[in-house]
Structure 1
Amino acid sequence: MIKIIGTGHILQKSVNEVRETILAIKPDFVAVELDRKRYEILKENNFELNFEQVYSHYSASDLFSSPAGIIQYLLANIQREFGKKLNVFPGSEMKEAILCAKEINANIILIDRNIDVTMNRILNLPLNEKINMLTLSPKMTKDIDFEDGINSILDTKNLEKITNIMKKFPKFYKGLVEERDAYMAMNLYSLQSRFPYANIVAIVGAGHNEGIEKFLNKLNKKVTDVDINAINKVEKISQLSHFTNILFALILIFALIFLKLRFR
């Protein structure tokens, strides 16, 4: 049995739900939306490291030597701005899942794709899509309803709106969401195939829940196959793409400024 919990990376209620579910089910495996790189940083610090401190383990040259590093850094800051309002560090529910798994002696499974591969896929967007993201995203996000505070981000209607916004940029959506949905679903399917009688609890971001379940259903029905090698391929980035990726990073800079102003 696979139980998938869709969480908000900066919501205390998600941290609580993760702990309650894992301790209630006592699964054989706890799968988390982490890759080896992020997990090892936590492990090196005995899992006492706050996720917002993860980036302090990278030198400035690592973070700012490429558009990918800049974007990763800005993404962390955007999540941190949300988290400060709720006193919850980004990714706290993943850390909680790991600690709970250790409490019940469950096996921890890392199911997410390497973050460097994901950033590579995102940065290979066609120029027109990057321009559209730069010009259209601020207008589209106005439709998201924050009347009940940031906790409302997990409301079904808001999740649908966010998904629909991202689908306006198909290559971006494919690299950030759809391919990772397929990658994580394949990892869960492989685990289930090897241990058919095991109980598995998977902790993933709410935006991945539906997609993972869709791919799992297709895999179980043998109507699709996921080519791990294809979605794990690092593509060469052209010089033009390097230039346009700087503009792409500006989107997140403006988003960070917007969030600071909106939620201060």
Structure 2
Amino acid sequence: MIYKTCRFVKSWYSRGFEIGLVFNQLQRSNHTVCSIFPRNFSATTSIDLPKSATLLHSDNEATVVLLGTVHFSKQSVEDVSEIVRAINPNAILVELCRQRVSLLELDDKKFLEDAKNFDAQKLKEAVKGQNFVSGMLHAMLLKTYADIAKELGVAPGGEFRRAYQEMKKIPGCKLFLGDRPIQITIARAFQSLSVYELGQVMYHLTTSNPKPIDKLQLEKYKDRDYVQAQFEEITKDVPAFKKIFHVFVDERDKCLAYSLQECVRSVVKNPRVLAVVGMGHVDGIVKYYGKMRQEDIVPLLLLPPRPYYKVLLAKGMKLTFYFLIFSFFFRLIFG
């Protein structure tokens, strides 16, 4: 089992998450992988970057720039183009997985039109095929995205689409998907909660009345101290969110850091890499970059065993269903 999982991880990171496969004009070739992990993060080259960008590595071996973005910010979109002009990257990594790759082809105008008319039918179609808990979370996220898009007039993921567009303009440049599959993240988050914690989270999500977000407030999320303060406020009100944030943020920080390492490894000659991620992942990626190994990532791609209470609940519902059927036919036959 572990061997198969390791093979899956190796395939996912070294080949599977590379969008270059999609573009027929980019021919893949086999090269010897060179080790270019940074020995330190000190910059030896002066590069003019926006304040939201971090220079992870800059020397004769490689240049790696990490851009922290706000997903509905027009300025974040422009920051992508600014960095592309500064370093002329030959690889760009984005905080997306295969399940969300359609975001790169999203029609902004159509999304904004749909957001204005976001109804129960569209919500039902979006979560079709998911289990109850995952579907509920996905529905809440979609509703939140639609509300913010309608309020700000900006479709989500604009910075990723700009990165994708800039990549296509640069000969030989490739785009990488660096995030863990969203289904694994959601499943791990909810399986980490007890019954009480799950109820606590659900109650908060369904009863909270978030304040409208304006463009000025949105830009505050580029400030790491502000993001940390928001995190502390939420976890103070609902402690169970600490477990969810651990899965959604810290675990994904490790996956993104490892993906970025593999992205840099895959560019054989003079890597110039731009990574575009949400601002909340910047500190974690800086912390883990250059330190992650494949064996560190394997456990983060596995679903933990189902909690005992869920197994009992499922069996109880199944037995109840059988009992109701038996009772129905018993009354039908014997009156």
Q: What is the alpha-carbon distance in structure 1 between the residues aligned to residue 69 and residue 312 of structure 2?
A: 35
The answer to whether residue 266 in structure 2 is matched with residue 210 in structure 1 is: no
- Counterpart in the other structure of 1:178: 250
Rate the CA distance shift 1:60–1:85 in 2: closer, same or farther, 3 A: closer
- Counterpart in the other structure of 2:134: 68
TM-score, scaled relative to structure 1: 0.74
- The CA deviation string for residues 5-52 of structure 1, in whole angstroms up to 9 with x for no partner, is 01001111111111221233210100000001211x356xxx253495
- Unaligned runs of at least 5 residues, structure 2: 1-62, 314-335
Greater share of residues in helix = 1
The answer to whether residue 71 in structure 2 is matched with residue 9 in structure 1 is: yes
- Counterpart in the other structure of 1:104: 170
Rate the CA distance shift 1:89–1:186 in 2: closer, same or farther, 3 A: same
Q: Which has the higher contact order (CA 8 A, sep 6+)?
A: 1
- The CA deviation string for residues 193-221 of structure 1, in whole angstroms up to 9 with x for no partner, is 343630110000000011011001544xx
Q: What is the alpha-carbon distance in structure 2 between the residues aligned to residue 62 and residue 137 of structure 1?
A: 21
Identical columns (%): 24
Once the two structures are overlaid, the 10-residue window that deviates more, 224-233 or 175-184, is 224-233
Q: Is the 8 A contact 2:94 2:277 kept in 1?
A: yes
Task: Write out aligned runs for 1:53-202 (5 A).
Answer: 59=125, 62=128, 65-105=131-171, 106-124=173-191, 125-133=193-201, 148-165=216-233, 168=239, 169-195=241-267, 197-202=270-275
- Matched residue of 2:143: which SS? helix
Q: Is the 8 A contact 1:166 1:173 kept in 2?
A: no
- Counterpart in the other structure of 2:94: 32
Cα offset, 1:65, TM superposition: 4.3
Structure of greater Rg: 2
Q: What is the alpha-carbon distance in structure 2 between the residues aligned to residue 61 and residue 132 of structure 1?
A: 22
Equivalent residues, number: 235
Rate the CA distance shift 1:69–1:147 in 2: closer, same or farther, 3 A: closer
Q: Is the 8 A contact 2:123 2:139 kept in 1?
A: no
Rate the CA distance shift 1:135–1:147 in 2: closer, same or farther, 3 A: farther
- Unaligned runs of at least 5 residues, structure 1: 245-264
TM-score, scaled relative to structure 2: 0.59
Cα offset, 1:79, TM superposition: 2.4
Q: What is the alpha-carbon distance in structure 2 between the residues aligned to residue 217 and residue 61 of structure 1?
A: 37
- The CA deviation string for residues 58-85 of structure 1, in whole angstroms up to 9 with x for no partner, is 8356166421022112112212322222
